[in-house]
Amino acid sequence: MTKWIDLTLPLYDYMPVGNVWAWDVPFQTEPITKDSHNGYELTKITMFSETGTRLMIRAMQDPDAPKVHELPLDSLMMRDAVIVDLPVEADHEVTALDIDKGFERAEIKMNDAILLRTGWGDNESWVELGDDYARTAPHVSKGGAERLVEVMKDFHSDLVGTDMPYLGGGRKFQLPEWASKPSWERNPFPSVEARRYLANYTTEKAYEDFPSPNILNSADVMYIGAMCNLGEISEKRIKLSVLPLKIQGARGATCRAVALQE
């Protein structure tokens, strides 16, 4: 039986994915008009390019690479995709060995998109965990990302998604220095505190904190972070569709991701 499965985190005020790092801008809504008084309900929305489930691309680091609005739809819609299970716990750093074990059990084919399923995005755990959903999540090591790229290149794959909120963990600098603080001590961007922190957060620090996105970007691999409900997929293969917001010139964007299971 055909089944559609929504793999997209809901957007809601101060959701954890987009609310912990120094460059994050918390998702917020504010009423503009009320249907009870103005006849129509309109809302102001504040967010940034990596809020919630999102598509990230080479253009994040390469100004000459295609931007979100320039991506061909056939690279994002109804893609054949394979499920790769990586059953890991909180704070686990996915290694090259983990990647190899996951692909040993997968039915990957040429040109497949890949979905790395850890289980972190199941059962609406973001509600219970709050900001710890982002701060204590499993993430991919430098070696794990390098091995993932090797496998993807072998199978001519250019798209990977995962229920890990972030591919990198920020464990060396941003987590201890910023994200681990209580919310009232990390005034979000564009605060003076966030701007001051980012002014001293160099490229070298960013690549040490988040090495795996740099590796994927450098390999021209598109990747989706913070997917959810991958546990609802019961087949080994699906059709995957991803639609990022069509923001002119954007180098990554929040997206809607859905699976078609047949």
| pLDDT score at 235 | 97
Q: Residue 135: pLDDT above 90? A: yes
Chain-wide mean pLDDT for the chain? 98
- End-to-end alpha carbon distance in the chain: 6
Token duo for residue 71: 């991506």
| pLDDT score at 62 | 97
pLDDT digits (tens, 9 = 90+) for 11-49: 999 999 999 999 999 999 999 999 999 999 999 999 999
Domains and CATH numbers, the chain: 3-10+49-261 (3.50.30.50)
pLDDT digits (tens, 9 = 90+) for 155-200: 999 999 999 999 999 999 999 999 999 999 999 999 999 999 999 9
Q: Identity (one letter) of the amino acid at 189?
A: F
CA atoms of 198 and 192, how far apart (whole Å): 10
Give the bridge partners for 242, in sequence order.
257
Token duo for residue 119: 């289980």
